[in-house]
């Protein structure tokens, strides 16, 4: 008996959760005991580079649909790359179909692309992290207002924000009604008079870049962490209690 086979199912599931889901599924060939154990993994880790065609994508989704539905997905992590925009949209839509609460996306497309609007139209998503490629590559763009009413935590890194309708209160964040924690790292906002306005935001972290916002109107803001930033930020935050810079 090998040492791995002597481990409990819960521990094996935890180990498999660190791997890409496609690799975890492949462990079913190791022994009869492992045939179904991957079906209880609570994390979906998917990369469009592994699903290089729509045929492979459909094969994966059919197989993954046989997972144990009694185990709720706690989070989804996607690595999106390549140039097949249709496949990228399919992968994102598939991930969103699980109505999970937490998603992390590493956007490794090395050309300027528009992030599909479907990513920003989830009713269940509460925690979203979106990380674009390193700054010497073209940054992905967000061109739609984020319609994420359940979202409380948002981390954006190396992305371009096209501010949406500048006449709408809150701009691109106006429909994130419950947003409390916003981090913008190496981001840029395309607007003649860039601003952040949100009635519920309590923590704002603009970091690692040049941020010159004309106005930051956040009446409930308590914590401002301006880390490694240049430029001036005009703030209306009567409840502000902590500033780190």
Specify which of 96-100, 111-115, 162-166, 229-233 reaches the highest per-range mean pLDDT: 96-100
Q: Say which range, 5-9, 59-63, 221-225, 232-236, has the weakest mean pLDDT.
A: 232-236
Q: Diameter of the chain by CA atoms? A: 68
Q: Answer whether residue 197 is part of any domain.
A: yes
Decide: helix, strand or coil at residue 14.
helix
Classified as helix, coil or strand, 34 is: helix
pLDDT digits (tens, 9 = 90+) for 188-211: 777 656 677 788 899 988 887 666
Boundaries of domain holding 203: 101-244
List, for residues 119-148, the tens digit of each pLDDT value.
888 888 999 999 988 766 678 888 888 899
pLDDT computed for residue 170 by the predictor: 56
> What would the mean pLDDT of 103-115 be, rounded to a whole number?
79
Alpha helices in the chain (DSSP H): 9-16, 21-26, 54-64, 85-96
Is the predicted pLDDT of residue 178 greater than 90, yes or no? Answer: yes
Q: Phi, psi (5° rounding) for residue 37?
A: -65, -30
Q: What is the pLDDT of residues 79-89, one digit of tens each?
A: 887 667 777 88
In a domain, 10, yes or no: no
Within a domain: residue 204?
Answer: yes
Q: How many CA atoms lie within 13 A of 26 on its CB side?
A: 5
Ranges of H-type helices in 69-221: 85-96
Q: Could you tell me if residue 17 is inside a domain?
A: no
Query: Is residue 74 one of the residues assigned to a domain?
Result: no
Is residue 119 a part of any domain in this protein?
yes
By the 8 A CB rule, do 140 and 159 touch? Answer: yes
Q: Is residue 63 part of a domain?
A: no
Q: Which tokens go with 198?
A: 């949100």
Task: Give the count of domains, the chain.
Answer: 1
Q: Kindly calculate the radius of gyration of the chain based on its CA atoms and give it in whole angstroms.
A: 20
- Assigned domain for 187 exists: yes
């Amino acid at each position: 008996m090998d040492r791995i086979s002597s481990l409990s199912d819960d521990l094996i599931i935890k180990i498999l959760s660190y791997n890409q889901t496609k690799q975890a599924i492949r462990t079913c060939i190791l022994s009869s005991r492992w045939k179904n154990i991957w079906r209880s993994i609570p994390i979906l880790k998917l990369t469009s580079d592994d699903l290089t065609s729509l045929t492979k994508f459909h094969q994966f989704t059919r197989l993954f649909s046989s997972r144990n539905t009694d185990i709720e997905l706690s989070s989804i992590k996607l690595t999106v790359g390549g140039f097949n925009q249709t496949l990228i949209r399919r992968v994102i839509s598939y991930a969103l179909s699980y109505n999970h609460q937490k998603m992390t996306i590493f956007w490794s497309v090395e050309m300027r692309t528009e992030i599909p609007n479907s990513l920003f139209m989830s009713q269940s998503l509460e925690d979203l992290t979106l990380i674009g490629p390193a700054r010497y590559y073209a940054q992905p763009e967000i061109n739609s207002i984020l319609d994420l009413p359940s979202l409380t935590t948002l981390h954006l890194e190396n992305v371009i924000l096209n501010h949406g309708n500048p006449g709408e209160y809150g701009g691109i964040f106006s429909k994130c009604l419950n947003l409390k924690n916003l981090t913008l790292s190496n981001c840029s906002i395309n607007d003649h008079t860039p601003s952040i306005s949100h009635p519920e935001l309590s923590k704002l972290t603009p970091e690692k870049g040049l941020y010159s916002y004309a106005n930051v109107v956040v009446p409930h803001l308590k914590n401002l962490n301006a880390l490694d930033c240049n430029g001036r930020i005009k703030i209306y935050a009567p409840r502000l209690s902590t500033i780190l810079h």
